[in-house]
Amino acid sequence: MPKPIRSPQEIEIVKHDILTTALKLMCDEGFDALSMRKLAARLKMTAANIYNYYENKDDLYLAIQTRGFQMIVDRFEDIYKSEQAAQKKLYDMMHAYLKFGIEYPDYYEIMFSRNTPKYADYKGTPMEPTAFIEKQTALKVSEITTRTIMDLFYGHDTIDEKEALYRTIAVWSTLHGVVNLFNSRVLQEVEEASEELIYKLFNDLMKIAIKPKDN
């Protein structure tokens, strides 16, 4: 008797379980250690069954990356579309980024802190189209932030996109350091009132974003 066909909802549950387990495996052992055989053993299913959902380990990895970046993009887009002032939008985006890094440390580790494959590594390979989707999703995070910083200057002392991107990277670099320090618990060792420190840092980062442009 043939097995019943899974519903779309059941398929999504299985794919989520596969991605979650693959993510944990990469965090535990590194990208190079990820294999369908090891993954199947952790999931207690056959490797052949995993291939019904993902082509190979690169397909799995890129799906994890895309999902993680899309989570940030969704939150940033909601903030950007809100009726708040640009300064409050940027502040909320910084908070959302920090929250993502703390609530999803495994995603953050693979997306931002490990030396894992990038789009350039997939150029000219069968995985290039999938990698391109991942890259475009990731770029949306900086694009929304850059647009918000440009909005801060709307109507007076306008800055160009290149300067806004530089400020985005300056803010992002600091936030990335904070997430890593917090997740490694180093920050809590150095400063017991770490939450107060973080929000003071947010205010200082706002000064970087809105400082007058150099003449």
CATH number at residue 43: 1.10.10.60
Q: How far, in Å, CA of 157 to CA of 160, rounded?
A: 10
Tokens of 163: 């300067």
Q: What is the pTM of this model?
A: 0.90
Q: Over the stretch 167-196, which tens digit does the pLDDT of each residue have?
A: 999 999 999 999 999 999 998 888 887 778
Nearest to 201 by CA among 53, 107, 98: 98
| Whole-number pLDDT of residue 140 | 97
Which residues, in sequence order, are CB contacts of 69 under 8 Å at separation 6+? 111, 134, 137, 138, 140, 141
**Owning domain of residue 41:** 1-54
Predicted local distance difference test score (pLDDT) of residue 1? 45
CATH code of the domain containing 98: 1.10.357.10
Domain annotation covers residue 149: yes
Would you state the structure tokens that stand for residue 80, as one six-digit string?
Answer: 């950007």
The pLDDT mean for the chain works out to: 91
Query: Is residue 78 located within the same domain as residue 178?
Result: yes
Q: What contacts 67, CB < 8 A, 6 or more positions away?
A: 19, 107
Measuring CA to CA, which residue among 178, 58, 166 is closest to residue 118? 58
Do 96 and 71 share a structural domain? Answer: yes
Confirm if 209 and 149 have CB atoms less than 8 A apart.
Answer: yes
- As a whole number, mean pLDDT of residues 154-159 equals 77
CA distances 212 to 165, 200, 205, Å, are 15, 21, 14
73 within some domain? yes
Residues 12 and 45 in one domain: yes
pLDDT at 68 over 60: yes
Number of domains in the chain: 2
Q: Is residue 94 part of a domain?
A: yes
Give a yes or no: residue 215 inside a domain: no
Q: Tell me: the pLDDT tens digits for 4-30?
A: 666 777 788 889 999 999 999 999 998
Mean pLDDT of 131-156: 93
On the CB side of 118, how many CA atoms lie within 13 Å of its CA? Answer: 7
Does the pLDDT value for residue 139 go beyond 90? yes
